Amino acid sequence: MKPLNEMELWFESRSSNEGFARSAVSAFIAQLDPTIGELNDIKTAVSEAVTNCVVHAYRNTIGRIYINVKITEGAVVIIKIRDKGIGIENVAQAMEPLFTTAPSEERAGLGFAVMQSFTDNVNVRSSPGKGTTVILKKRISRRVYNG
């Protein structure tokens, strides 16, 4: 489906960029006039996905995190968060609530669970050694897009 509007950015996998990433996505989506709750849901889901890239994909290294956001018909927002890091061997296991490979860093193991409950759809594709792509979809309910 052809997007009505689209943006793309990349940044380094430094933890200081986690706030930048969720703010940038929420600033782009603001044009749909979402509710505070919807915006907060999107910020939280993006924050989880980006943190996964920082903590797991590029563990002990710095790499690039790519974000692409599309606004499509019916005010559906599609957010793609991609890295070229280590990848996930077992995606189903990684998505289980409370599963974490970093308990010593107090990772609660809730990243994917939060993404799933804060958006309408989460899709994860990963190849070990090559990287991971997370696609989040959420419909913004309030207004008709007229941009």
Partner 1 sequence: MINRVSFNENEMTYRLSGEIDHHSAKTARELIDSLIQQKKPSVLKLDFSDVSFMDSSGIGLIMGRYRMMHLYGGELCVVNVPDQLEKIMFLSGLGALGVIEKKGEAYETVE
Active site positions, annotated: 48, 52, 107
How far is 76 from 114, CA to CA, in rounded Å? 19
Residue 38 carries which side chain, given as an amino acid letter? E
Q: Does 92 bind partner 1 (CB under 8 A)?
A: no
Q: CB of residue 128 vs partner 1: minimum separation in angstroms? A: 23
Least separation, in Å, of the C-beta of 146 and partner 1?
Answer: 27
Regarding 90 and contact with partner 1 (CB under 8 A), the answer is no
Q: Which of 6, 8, 15, 73 binds partner 1 (CB under 8 A)?
A: 15
Q: How far apart are the C-alpha atoms of 85 and 53, rounded to whole Å?
A: 7
Q: Which of 145, 24, 30, 22 is nearest to 76 (CA)?
A: 145
Query: Are 132 and 88 spatial neighbours (Cβ–Cβ below 8 Å)?
Result: yes
Q: Which is nearer to partner 1, 2 or 36 (CB)?
A: 36
Contact pick of 113, 124, 133, 145 for partner 1 (by CB under 8 A):
113
Does residue 107 touch partner 1 according to CB under 8 A?
yes
Q: Which of 48, 58, 126, 132 binds partner 1 (CB under 8 A)?
A: 48
> Is 141 a binder of partner 1 (CB under 8 A)?
no
> Which residues bind to partner 1, rule: CB under 8 A?
15-16, 18-19, 22, 36-37, 40-41, 43-44, 47-48, 51, 54-55, 105-108, 110-111, 113-114, 117-118
